[in-house]
Structure 1
Amino acid sequence: MSETTDGMSYSEPDDLRAVRAFVTERAIALGLPAGRIDVLTLAVSELTTNTLQHTSGGGHIRVWADNGRLVCDVVDGGLDRPFGRAMPAAEAIRGRGLAIVERICDAVYTAAVPGGTLVRICLDL
């Protein structure tokens, strides 16, 4: 695990606590309203957990503010993630994480990047 001012890398399940703490600290510093910090933390937790469950090599997260939005990129070595999906049934064992992320964030984008995929989530400040 490594950290910079606006980003950090993660590669082990034990890193998820540090990821959540990092995201919370950045959100506070960037002025995200207190009631929205849990939303951001939940979305990032879903994305980074997916990284660790479905890819190898971990990932990198970056958080900053731009044009009245808090922006968070999660980059990993995984395949492109389909968004725009229906919410799986309540009894479904898996598959709800990305659908939840889409519904709780103000905007979600995904793009292929060299060596993997970037998922960008945005929350209005």
Structure 2
Amino acid sequence: MDFNKVLADLKKEPGFAENVGMILVHNGVVRSWSRKGREEVVAIDITPDFEKMEEIRQEIEAREGIFRAWCHANSGHMKPGDDVLFLIVAGDIRENVKPALADFLDRVKAEAVSKKEIFA
């Protein structure tokens, strides 16, 4: 996954310069510890629901001031430090873009990605 290429392609889209004043990017990686009890995590198994991710992406992109929302999730067995989830939200002003990215992230994590942590 090459964020630089995705961003470069986004900037070439018709209407980009007229509609975008901010781009926010999320790059989620596998942590080496769990949220519960901070137990050591040696790996995780990730299963994305790509149809649900697309549904959420379309809802975020339809918001006022949002020019483009983009997402990608890796799947399978991963180790700490591996990239898991990539999100981009491009839009007009921070008052529209920041909450859109926060909602995008929270919804994808809650509704479209499941994970099983494997402990040491």
What TM-score does the superposition give when structure 2 sets the normalisation length? Answer: 0.33
Larger radius of gyration: 2
